[in-house]
Amino acid sequence: MVAMHPQINTVDFNVAQLSMVGGALTVRAGYEPVGPARVAITFKDASLRPPQLQKLFEANYDLLLSIFNPEGWLDITYLDQEHRVGRDDKGNVFVLEKLS
């Protein structure tokens, strides 16, 4: 059995309609290798800060999480020691560069 690896992603944002109140959505997920180049991603939990925004978006929290949709899979192609190409189950393609 392969252990699930934790991953935390945070999106910082400003809400213009609230006089540019700053906040952050943090999503915690796990990933598990399921093939030579694919990992399965499983949602663990999420939090919204500051707490005032958590209360404001509480009624639409599921909608907010569905936008980021942390469940699914990710295929990773290794180009070289510094570059990776990723493709997910939602049709997104991205290039990652390792910074020294």
Predicted confidence at residue 71, as pLDDT, reads 85
Taken as a whole, the chain contains a residue count of 100
Structural domain boundaries of the chain? 5-97
Q: What is the mean pLDDT of residues 41-65?
A: 78
**Nearest C-alpha neighbor of 87 from the set 49, 41, 55:** 41
Helix (H, G, I), strand (E, B) or coil at 89: coil
What value does the mean pLDDT of the chain take? 80
4 — pLDDT class (breaks 50, 70, 90): low
Task: Using the predicted structure, report yes or no on whether residue 35 has a pLDDT greater than 90.
Answer: yes
